[in-house]
Every structure is written in structure tokens, then in C-alpha cells.
Structure 1
């Protein structure tokens, strides 16, 4: 089963400094048919203007993965963590029992991110933050784990039996992801156009996938894709 959710059907709001699109119900956007996909709770497609961002605010009991598409995002939290994550790289915050953080675009250009929230397997725990570079060349023609709570993955750790993967595909190239019929996947091309099982998914569309042993993604044009695998 593959349900394509076209970009122009997504919820969202333009706040001037932030233009946000929501694949799932979030903030003032509510769609009872799009509240989550398995343990995937949020997928926001954010455009953040230069020298602006999210002031300090709290989170708890959520795995928050930020995939930077363009520009950079600067993180600071009340545990003393701080860092700058550039395009192509990923940061993860396990909110655990509670953390307050800010995220700003301190650059001279707009920043584009995917922010992905996954429900943790257990509540509470010590909050953590981390970031890591993931060169796009290392995921050329194949899926590479970027953030994962699955044993054996070389990725940023999260506290859920879930995986966030990325792939870069040349036009005509295919990559296969082993999913399993007991799992769900949600895929978004950051750029390009891809085809899965005869269905076309364009840049920033979402594809909700279930009941497939494997997902075969074929690029119609050069593409950068992000896939979340959850229970």
C-alpha cells in the first residue's frame, strides 16, 4: 500500500520568518486522517529566513531528528549543548524527561530543514543531543542510516526501534529498502522525482507505505530522498 500525499495538500502556515508545511497534524493544522503514521508523529518541511529561528522552548518524550537540506541550523539547550548543523547533515535530540532548546538560522541565507518527530519506546530518561555529518556521496545509489534505534546501525542513536535513512539517486538509478510487512515507512524526496511501484512522488510530496516487504525507489531525475521506517 502506497498513499501519495501531494505537497499542495499539506497543512501549514507562513509566519514570515518561518514558512512551514506539515505532513501530519501539527500546531493549528489538524486533519484526523493525518495525525501520525505508526510511531512517526511529525514531519515538518520548514523554510527559516536568515537571522531568525525558534526561541527557547521545551520538549519531553520525543525523538526529534533534524535533516538540514539547505543552509545551517544552530542549536543550544539548557544542558549546555550547542552546535551548528550544515546542509546534508543531521542532528538528533532525545527529549527524554524534559529539555529546553533553541534553533536559529544564523546564516546570511535561508535554511531549509525536515524536522521529524518519532515517539520513543519508553518515557523519560536523560535528555541527549548530538549531530553528525553525512556526506551525500556516501549514500549515492543506496540507503544509509542517519538516525536509528536498531542494533547494528552506524547512525546517530534514537530511543525508538525506528530508522531515518537517506539516499541520493541519479536519474534512472534505483535503490531498495528492506522494510517488512510488519513495518511502516514514510518517504519524502527533498529534491527530484521518484517512482515507487508505479506511483510518482515529486519533490516534497510524502509517500505513506505499508504492507511491503521491500521498497524499490527509482529516480526519474536526480533525487535526494529521506525515508523513515517505524513500527
Structure 2
């Protein structure tokens, strides 16, 4: 089973310095029928103006992944980490028992990144932080798995049975994505124009798949994120 979600129907926020699209209920956008997709709790597509950002604030008991699409993202936290990331980079933070952090765009142009929250398999983990500046070519016309569970083989390993993949599909190319028995996936078309099974997706649209394999044809060059996990019980 698949279901398309058009970005025009997602939650929206405009704070001036920050413009966001919310895939699931977040902040002032609340829809009791759209709280999560399995263990996937949050995907926020954030545009942050130059020289602005999120000041220090707390999180706990959440696996948080930030995927940088455009511009600069500078992280700081109470674990004495401070890092600046550019497009293609991925940041991971396991909030665990509690962490304070900030995220700023210190560059000269607007920054865009996807903020992804995954519910951990239990509460009370020790906080962790890490980041990777992955070579862009790792995801060109092939799936690049950069997040897995602790039992998996990805560079970033989280406290949950979930995997995250990225790909940039060249125009007119076709790729498949396997969604196995008792598994589900949430696909985000970050940039581009693509046909996914019977659905036509445009930039910022999304698609849910439950136990149904996906065939993706890029109408135009398409940058895609896919979050795969155990099927909701």
C-alpha cells in the first residue's frame, strides 16, 4: 500500500527568520491523525535565513538526524561539540537522558536542512553526537545507506530498528527500493520531479509505503530521502 502526501497539505510555519514545512504534528501545527509514521515522529523541512538560527534548547529521549541540503549549519551543544556542516552532510544526536544544543546558519545565504526525529527503542540512553561530511557521489544513481540500527552497518547507528537512505537519480533513470514483509518506508522528494509507482511527486512531496516495493523514475534529476523501518503494530 502506498499513499502520496502533497507538501501543500503539510503543516506550515513562518517566523520570518525560519520557514518550515512539517510532515507531522509539530509546534503550532497539530493534527491528531498525523502524529507519526511508525517510529518516525518528525520531519521538518527548514529554511533558515543567513546569520540566524535556533538558540540553545533542550531535548531528551529522541534520535535526531539533520540532513543538510543547502547552505551552512553550525551545531553547538553542552557536550562541547561545535561543528559547521555543508550540503550533503549529516548530523546525528541521540538526546537520551538530556542534551542542550543550538543550530545556526552562519553563512551568507539561506540554509535548508531536514530535521528528522525517530523514537528510540527505550528511554534513558546516554547522549551522543556525531557528524559526517559524506562524498556526494556516494548517492548518485545508487542508494546510500547512512543510518542503521546498532545491529546494522551504516556509518551512523541509532537506537532503533530504522534505516535512512539518500539518492540523487539522474533524469530518466529508474531505481527500485525494496520494502519487505512487515516493513514500511517514508520517502521524501527533497528536490526534483519523479514518478513513484502510480504517483507523481514534486519537490517536497512525500510518500508512505507499507509492505510495497517502490519503483522510481526521475522525470527530472531527483534528490530523495527514504526512511525504512519495522511496520507499525
Superposed pair shares fold, TM > 0.5: yes
> Distance between the aligned counterparts of 1:151 and 1:175, measured in 2?
26
Q: Secondary structure at the match of 2:220?
A: coil
Matched, 1:58 2:58: yes
Counterpart in 2 of 1:170? 170
Unaligned runs of 5+ in 1: none
Given that 2:193 and 2:202 are in contact with CA atoms closer than 8 Å, whether structure 1 keeps it comes out as: yes
Q: How many angstroms apart in 1 are the aligned matches of 2:102 and 2:39?
A: 24
Match of 1:221, SS? strand
Give TM-score scaled by structure 2 length: 0.95
Residues 1:49 and 2:66 aligned together: no
Equivalent residue, structure 2, for 1:224: 223
- Please say if residues 150 and 159 of structure 2, whose CA atoms lie closer than 8 Å, have aligned partners that are also in contact: no
**Secondary structure in 2 matching 1:61:** coil
Which whole-Å CA distance do the structure 2 matches of 1:161 and 1:132 have between them?
A: 21
| Structure-2 separation of matches of 1:3 and 1:154 | 28
| CA–CA separation in structure 2 for the residues paired with 1:173 and 1:113 | 25
Tell me which residue corresponds to 2:89.
89
- 5+ residue gaps, structure 2, are none
- Match of 1:123? 123
* C-alpha distance in 2 between matches for 1:100 and 1:161: 25
1:215 corresponding residue in structure 2: 214
Distance in 2, matches of 1:135 and 1:152, equals 21
Question: Which 4+ runs in 1 deviate beyond 3 A?
Answer: none
Aligned-partner Cα distance in 2 for 1:127–1:115: 18
Secondary structure at the counterpart of residue 222 of structure 1 = strand
Partner of 2:186: 186
Listed one character per residue, the Cα deviations across residues 194-219 of structure 1 (whole Å, up to 9, x for unaligned) are 1111211111001111121x222221
What is the aligned residue count?
230
Shift of 1:135: 2.0
1:150 Cα deviation from its structure 2 partner? 5.5
Deviation at 1:193, TM superposition (A): 1.1
